[in-house]
A = this chain, B = another copy of it.
Amino acid sequence: ARIVTLPGDGVGPEVTAAAVAVLQALAGHYGHEFSFDEQLIGGCAIDATGEPLPAATLAACQQADAVLLGAVGGPKWSDPNAPVRPEQGLLGLRAALGVYANLRPLQVHPALADLSPLKNERLQGVDVLFVRELTGGAYFGAKTRTDDTATDECKYTVAEVERVARRAFALARGRRKQLTSVDKANVLETSRLWRSTVQRIATEFPDVKVEHQLVDSMAMLLLSQPSRYDVVVTENLFGDILTDEAAALAGSLGLLPSASLGESRVGLYEPIHGSAPDIAGKGVANPVGTILSAALLLRHSLQLEAEAVAIEAAIDRVLNDGPHSRDIGGQAGTQDVLDAVLQALD
């Protein structure tokens, strides 16, 4: 299988290297051949080529089986009025690959419950899969700007909502068969289209129980009753906000993976944390979110379920027994955590 790696900026190279080491070890154990092709994206791509998503990067990704990304962005490129920004590389890649469904699983590891801002009893049984629409909405709508005024258009078509809703229903079918669709249908026209489309697709999945929540209520319910939710599907911007809110429950952003999938086989896998410039290059970043993203890559793009489960079991052991990186209250560096994961895999 051909895997393109996009280490990107900040801690991206460190955590990507750790995940690649895990994939290589696994390939050895199971007798697979994985090739790794490293390409530029984000701030480092701007520095090298002037563009956040160079043509060579995009071409390599389009020919790959899967793409593993570290992080993009950092203070060096953070002027919001700069002509090119690192984030454009990531948004352009999502659009070009057509990965409209961003899966963000949330579980709170029992050994880490004390790190969560939520009271331990509220964390019992939390197991949510967010499905965030990733290639539409205000992220990709028309924008205007004059000296005096700015606009962003949020736009959704029925077909865009249908495909992400179907994906979410199918995922719910393989889990606890509950789908929560989040919108702001009492105010937004796009949300009314969203809601009526989800309601129609629901008839194709009569075994899945559906509920609709307004985004403001959902922001509360995620805190007051997080264990109530199974699969949560929502549009791009609401998904950006709600998944980060939910991620805070895990105690550290460093732990959480994501998978972005479209109709084609090539998926985009990345930890949900950012480039963390404050700790970049120090060898202390938590590689767990990226290693778990590699597990999702094995599962969703390479159909290697046993291998994915092996990684998840190894991470589970390391989170139970340590060593723990600094973000989760330990002293271990990136390499220490990686070594422990590799050992747990043996």
Contacts and interface: CB of A to CB of B under 8 A. Distances in A.
A21 B260 CA distance: 55
B81 A196 contact: yes
A80 B185 contact: yes
B150 A187 contact: no
Interface string A134-169: 000011010111011111111111110000000000
**Most chain B CB neighbours (cut-off 10 Å) among A118, A185, A245:** A245
Contact of A148 (B144, B157, B184): B157
A117 B80 contact: no
A244 to B, nearest CB: 4
Given A220-B244, A241-B241, 10 more contacts: A80-B186, A117-B223, A118-B223, A148-B158, A149-B155, A152-B188, A152-B190, A154-B154, A219-B241, A219-B245
Nearest to A159: B148
Contacts of A196: 80-81
Interface size class of A (residues with CB under 8 A): 35 or more
Interface string A241-259: 1111101110001000000
B81 A192 contact: yes
Nearest to A226: B117
Contact of A215 (B117, B153, B158, B241): B241
Identify the 10 closest CB pairs spanning chains A and B, nearest first: A150-B193, A219-B245, A216-B244, A143-B189, A80-B185, A220-B248, A223-B248, A150-B189, A117-B223, A150-B190
Interface of A: 73, 80-81, 85, 87, 91, 116-120, 122, 138-139, 141, 143-145, 147-159, 184-193, 195-196, 215-217, 219-224, 237-238, 240-245, 247-249, 253
A248 B122 CA distance: 13
Contacts of A141: 151
A92 to B, nearest CB: 12
28 contacts: A73-B186, A80-B185, A80-B195, A87-B187, A117-B118, A117-B119, A117-B223, A117-B224, A143-B188, A145-B192, A145-B193, A148-B157, A148-B158, A149-B156, A149-B157, A149-B158, A150-B189, A151-B155, A152-B190, A153-B153, A184-B240, A219-B245, A220-B245, A220-B247, A223-B223, A223-B245, A224-B248, A245-B245
Contact of A119 (B119, B158, B186): B119
Contacts of A150: 155-156, 189-190, 192-193
A152 B223 CA distance: 28
A189 B223 contact: no
A340 to B, nearest CB: 26
Nearest to A87: B186
